[in-house]
Structure 1
Amino acid sequence: MVDLIPRQHLFGNPTRYGHQISPDGKRLAWVAPLDGVLNIWSAPLDDLDAAAPVTRDRRRAVDTFGFAYDGRHLLYVQDADGDENYHVFAADLESGAHRDLTPYPGIAAGIVGMSRIVRDRVLLALNDRDARFHDLHSVDLATGERQLVVQNPGFVGFLIDESYAVRFAAENRRDGSSNLLIREGESWKRWLTFSAEDARGSGAENLNTAGNLLFCRDSRGRDTAALTQIDLESGALRTIAAHDEADIGTVLLDIETREPIAYSVTHARRSWHVLDERFREDFSFLEGQGLGDYYPSSRSENDKFWIVVTFSDTRIGEALLYDRTAKTLRPLGSARPELDGAPLAPMQPSVIRSRDGLDLVSYLTRPLGADGPGPMVLLVHGGPWARDGFGFDPMHQWLANRGYAALSVNFRSSTGFGKTFLNAGDGEWGRAMDDDLLDAVAWAVAEGVADPKRVAIMGGSYGGYATLMGLARNPDTYACGIDLVGPSNLETLVRTIPPYWEAMRAQLHRAIGDPDTEAGMTLIRDQSPVYFADRIRAPLMIVQGANDPRVKQAESDQMIAALKQSGIPVTYLLYPDEGHGLVRPANRLAFFARAEAFLARHLGGLCEPIQESEATGSSVQVLREG
């Protein structure tokens, strides 16, 4: 029998991750626990043993940060208990002082840009004037003094140059199309239009340093999004890179010119492609080191040092310091060294054909030594405008170690596979998108992977919605389901989105229906699981964060009330100090302990006994036990 991997090793705090190098190449920073809470740490590059915490949060993780170009400040963002009202803070690495650069109640701020030209200031987006729209402000890192750069009349966002001058704005239209507007004095002029078919996967990316070239992701005239260049003086359009099966992924830019030097493409696996011959030797060196999949995550301003993150299906992400001059790699540590030697299972990429002919890129992890059909958990990703990929997945490893096959499916509406695939989910939530999941289950049964009587469905956000809808639409397909922060009523979902999502409302209406029209409401009701709760037969677990600003607690409360009327067995877990997902490690571990016991009860897999910390350290409230 395979040894059980402790849940703590998979879902507890990682040892360290998220390494970044300072622009001057003299310091590193990363995220690591401090007294059980993830905080930012930093150390001189030549003395990593002198690492000290930059932040000292005692409650919730601080894990999003970046070095400023002034050589002194590190910026980080933090919300309160998952409410997503992020504030931006500046930490002075010399004095140790911290300053809230956005000290305004009830706002949601974000970092738009840090510049090599304007080194003492940062460009921030703030919605303190109008909660729906973020204005841009230039803020002094040392004093917090702010200057208005541009007021937002209703745009999705802006494109700026390195002097913090606003050059373009992006505008979503009610029909689902989008405009790229160019600034002319104090007014805006329509400059480029992406149709509704292209808008989700296309748009302006960046300007070069000279300000005469605009780079875009562009699917106009083709299916997959290409990387294109537009000469702003002549208007000439040139395709730089394109792929027939997948959209262009990560694009690396030259530090000086801000022009593309390399790009990645991910269909089933990630591959890198070099555009600038000066960097071909670097990628050839990295390809020859047996790193598995990798990506450069941070670079020094002189481009001498890169932080390269490597991973595989059976190896957690490891950060390496790459010296481009010496052609050396220096290990910076694994995120979870406790998993070294653990019985991890390999992941198999597969392409499943949907009933109407779409290719669903999927990932299967089976228990070690699996032979013949067994229990399986179908994992549904959130978004839905996101995707699953190849690599270390703690959910897959957890399930495979407990005796379940884990299957993740890039159903229609997943990103990265071209606009036809991306838009095929419009109006198909809980219908054709659910058919894709059913086709994946049928494939797993036909391949001898899954026992059709022991299949569970599980997911978060859209994946939670898919769990609810899947159980209601297909009451005989699943033995049980786990919904984490999933919407149950698409009308209340779209009517209660955060105010700063206003510019995205047209995209939501295109996907699920406009609740202010008769046709839209008909579609929404047909796709809302709360109206079909009486069809559910399988045991269900619902998990909700009380502070979730996207999928509010009312979504889960409605579903619980509907299930109660029908007498369906359901467990309801509420976390009063969480938002759209579980961040605090005690809460994560408490959830996975309960989820593991739930799956073992209904599918018959292995179960690690609940540890004392999982029983007592969490804020979880069990509002219903079914």
Structure 2
Amino acid sequence: MTGAVVAGGPVTEALFAAETNGHFTLGGSGSVVAYVKRTADGEELWTGAPGHHVRRAGHEGERITGPRFAAGGDTVFYRHARRGREAWNLSAVRLSDGSRRTILGDGSLAEFWLSPTDPEALVLSRRPRQDLYDASLRPLAANPGYHRWLIDNRLRPRGGIVLAADGSARVELGADLARARTVLTVDADAVPDLAVLRFSRDDERLFLVTSAGSPVRRLLSVTATGDVTELFAHPGLDLGGYPVAADGVWFDPRTGEPDLCAVMDQRLRYQPLTARAADRVAERLRPGDDGTPVLTGRSHDDRVWLVSTVHSDGPLRHGLVRAGEAEQVVAHNRPELVGAGLPGLRDFPFVASDGRPLTGYLLRPGEADGPLPTVVLVHGGPIARDTWRFHAEAQYLAALGYQSLHINFRGSAGFGAAFRLSGYGEWGGRMQQDLYDAVVHGVELGLVDRARVAFLGSSYGGYAALLAACTRPDIVRGAIAVSPPCDLVRFAAEPPAYWRPLVRQLRRQVLQTADGRPVERSRLDQRSPMSAVGPGSAPMLIAHGARDPRIPIADVTGFVGHARDLGVPVTFLRFDDEGHVIHADANRARLYREIAAFLEVRLAAR
């Protein structure tokens, strides 16, 4: 498919659809890839190699995620759940004969671990208590109070993560659970970026990433005796990478030792830990005009790499790379957009009104000149970030003639602990002001039409969009919010059950500043859309899934009713078969056509 993008045409429709292919993972032999294909009826598990693809399983009305090859490569395990729900089941497919079996089908799966040597060995944890079971669902161990289990290579429970009453976390290790000891304490402010990776081959060291005791997120190894070793830390950036790959850390499949890390500022930067890894990166991951190559899988002998090449102006390409050979393309995540001639992201650095340097990205439609109607796309989290990537939502807006701004406001992840913590107590405060400052800077550069600006976001981004409409109609002519927290005070004081394991961290982010000072109740009210909305607020388009466990539908409908009673124009889209994210193509088509109609009215020239 080539040529210009036409609003309402097939390319535009492909942009508001969810990606066709995702969750790519490489089998240990390096010859086959497992991935998830989305269809109109539900999602399917496929395996593929260049030029040869096989459908393995389908689940109507369900989502599939996390396919993983068992030892030997003949069996693929994967999680699946009813669309909109976050109650996961576990199934497996044997590639040699096509047989499929459901291991756990009651929606209680928390996590599962596979043996690196035995294709049949499996351990899983089940909600609500997260006790451990084997492949036949025989009980193995009762949970002594862990938020997450730590399981070694021989599928033995070796400890876990304990969330303390003060919001901190303890990493406990021990060959005997009754004698497990705390080997690392992670303060409450560092808990959001803690990630446990794996054990070493001899099960003596646990690899994890955290910013505990450090100005940046770094790679550590810890032992059951409490020895902590720093393996990598960047001077100013957090360890991390693209969501399609590992958590910024890759392991040599021959030794099981970490050999490659990454950080991200405006682009991904690889940080090899060994000379061999440096050579392989130079040989197989050479960035260029064709995009940014991201390592997403390695064969057991390390001869074959699965590489996913990120573009900002086209779909993600997944291919197999061998030393000295050209890439063999397996599939694109959005094959219908290959060659569509789409615009690319530009860097957008600026200085906030209080002097803090910030950055982000800008997407302008085609060869447009001068100030344009602009949509500020606010990322969720808020401890997340925007990256240089293909942004289908922004491309859809560009096809309609709107440019988009993507801002990594303070509180975003990736730029060090101090930057992340600067967002604490600033929901609706400095984090929000950063977004307004970005608009002002765009106006000063002659890029943004000051009279035609809208905000759009999901989750936290939806909250920020609503608040902008409620409190700054002088800047924002309309807000589009998907799954937004609407009552900030209630959200922090009485969070839904989904958030209760992390309630201390949530309250810390919302109710206290980085230095521990409480945010006054009057200020919280000013920063809450439920309290701040008034007759002069800008019009809103709000969408929500009735199955959302993170933001109850009643909270959203309550806000919609309240805003309408005040005379605020609100379009509300309720999706009874969706959750926190709108997945189904039919629902996404309805949502994005409503977005187009909303923006056509709100951002029309005066």
**Are the structure 2 counterparts of residues 199 and 30 from structure 1 closer, same or farther at C-alpha, using a change threshold of 3 Å?**
closer
Give matches, 1:96-115, under 5 Å. 96-104=98-106, 107-115=107-115
1:310-345 superposed Cα distances (whole Å, 9 cap, x missing partner): 022112100111124x54411113233332342311
**Are the structure 2 counterparts of residues 426 and 174 from structure 1 closer, same or farther at C-alpha, using a change threshold of 3 Å?**
farther
Residue 254 of structure 1 corresponds to 252
Tell me, yes or no, if structure 1 residue 159 matches structure 2 residue 150. yes
Task: Find the partner of 1:339 among 337, 340, 352.
Answer: 337
**Are the structure 2 counterparts of residues 257 and 160 from structure 1 closer, same or farther at C-alpha, using a change threshold of 3 Å?**
farther
Task: Find the partner of 1:483 among 465, 481, 484.
Answer: 481
Is the CA contact 2:18–2:583 (under 8 Å) kept in the aligned structure 1? no
Hey, what's the Cα distance between the residues in 2 that align with 1:519 and 1:363?
Answer: 31
Is the CA contact 1:241–1:248 (under 8 Å) kept in the aligned structure 2? no
**Are the structure 2 counterparts of residues 247 and 300 from structure 1 closer, same or farther at C-alpha, using a change threshold of 3 Å?**
closer
Hey, what's the Cα distance between the residues in 2 that align with 1:99 and 1:493?
Answer: 40
Hey, what's the Cα distance between the residues in 1 that align with 2:75 and 2:489?
Answer: 44
Tell me, yes or no, if structure 1 residue 59 matches structure 2 residue 56. no
Residue aligned with 2:386, SS: coil
1:51-94 superposed Cα distances (whole Å, 9 cap, x missing partner): 33212223344344222225332212122231211111122333
**Are the structure 2 counterparts of residues 65 and 205 from structure 1 closer, same or farther at C-alpha, using a change threshold of 3 Å?**
closer
Hey, what's the Cα distance between the residues in 2 that align with 1:69 and 1:494?
Answer: 44
Is the CA contact 1:172–1:506 (under 8 Å) kept in the aligned structure 2? no
Residue aligned with 2:59, SS: coil
1:527-567 superposed Cα distances (whole Å, 9 cap, x missing partner): 32111221552111010101111111112111111112201
Tell me, yes or no, if structure 1 residue 39 matches structure 2 residue 44. yes
1:267 is displaced (CA, Å) by 0.7
Hey, what's the Cα distance between the residues in 2 that align with 1:14 and 1:198?
Answer: 33
Residue aligned with 1:167, SS: strand
Give matches, 1:385-534, under 5 Å. 385-494=383-492, 499=497, 501-513=499-511, 524-534=524-534
**Are the structure 2 counterparts of residues 244 and 14 from structure 1 closer, same or farther at C-alpha, using a change threshold of 3 Å?**
closer
Hey, what's the Cα distance between the residues in 1 that align with 2:217 and 2:64?
Answer: 34
Q: Unpaired segments of 5 or more residues in structure 2?
A: 242-247, 513-517
Tell me, yes or no, if structure 1 residue 134 matches structure 2 residue 119. no
**Are the structure 2 counterparts of residues 202 and 13 from structure 1 closer, same or farther at C-alpha, using a change threshold of 3 Å?**
closer
**Are the structure 2 counterparts of residues 34 and 570 from structure 1 closer, same or farther at C-alpha, using a change threshold of 3 Å?**
closer
Normalising by structure 1, we get a TM-score of 0.87
Letter in 2 for 1:101: I
1:523 is displaced (CA, Å) by 6.1
1:23 is displaced (CA, Å) by 2.2
Give matches, 1:274-353, under 5 Å. 274-288=272-286, 290=288, 291-324=290-323, 327-353=325-351
Residue 28 of structure 2 corresponds to 23
**Are the structure 2 counterparts of residues 371 and 215 from structure 1 closer, same or farther at C-alpha, using a change threshold of 3 Å?**
same
Hey, what's the Cα distance between the residues in 1 that align with 2:31 and 2:377?
Answer: 42
Residue 78 of structure 2 corresponds to 76
Is the CA contact 2:286–2:293 (under 8 Å) kept in the aligned structure 1? no
Hey, what's the Cα distance between the residues in 2 that align with 1:367 and 1:35?
Answer: 29
**Are the structure 2 counterparts of residues 257 and 161 from structure 1 closer, same or farther at C-alpha, using a change threshold of 3 Å?**
farther
Hey, what's the Cα distance between the residues in 2 that align with 1:170 and 1:536?
Answer: 48
**Are the structure 2 counterparts of residues 181 and 277 from structure 1 closer, same or farther at C-alpha, using a change threshold of 3 Å?**
same
Letter in 2 for 1:546: A
Hey, what's the Cα distance between the residues in 2 that align with 1:288 and 1:190?
Answer: 42
Hey, what's the Cα distance between the residues in 2 that align with 1:331 and 1:519?
Answer: 52
Is the CA contact 1:39–1:63 (under 8 Å) kept in the aligned structure 2? no
Is the CA contact 2:110–2:130 (under 8 Å) kept in the aligned structure 1? no
Letter in 2 for 1:383: G
What RMSD over aligned residues (CA atoms) do the two structures have, in Å? 2.6
1:393 is displaced (CA, Å) by 0.8
| Identical pairs, percent | 28
1:134-186 superposed Cα distances (whole Å, 9 cap, x missing partner): 233332xxxxx123344334332122211122223222333332222223542
1:193 is displaced (CA, Å) by 1.5
Hey, what's the Cα distance between the residues in 2 that align with 1:83 and 1:417?
Answer: 33
Residue aligned with 2:91, SS: strand
**Are the structure 2 counterparts of residues 137 and 520 from structure 1 closer, same or farther at C-alpha, using a change threshold of 3 Å?**
farther
Is the CA contact 1:266–1:416 (under 8 Å) kept in the aligned structure 2? yes
Normalising by structure 2, we get a TM-score of 0.90
Residue 13 of structure 2 corresponds to 8
Residue 175 of structure 1 corresponds to 166
Hey, what's the Cα distance between the residues in 2 that align with 1:496 and 1:586?
Answer: 34
Residue aligned with 1:322, SS: strand
Letter in 2 for 1:599: L
1:497 is displaced (CA, Å) by 5.0
Residue aligned with 2:260, SS: strand
Task: Find the partner of 1:208 among 169, 181, 200.
Answer: 200
Q: Unpaired segments of 5 or more residues in structure 1?
A: 140-144, 606-626
1:349 is displaced (CA, Å) by 1.6
1:244 is displaced (CA, Å) by 1.6
1:220-241 superposed Cα distances (whole Å, 9 cap, x missing partner): 4542122233465582533434
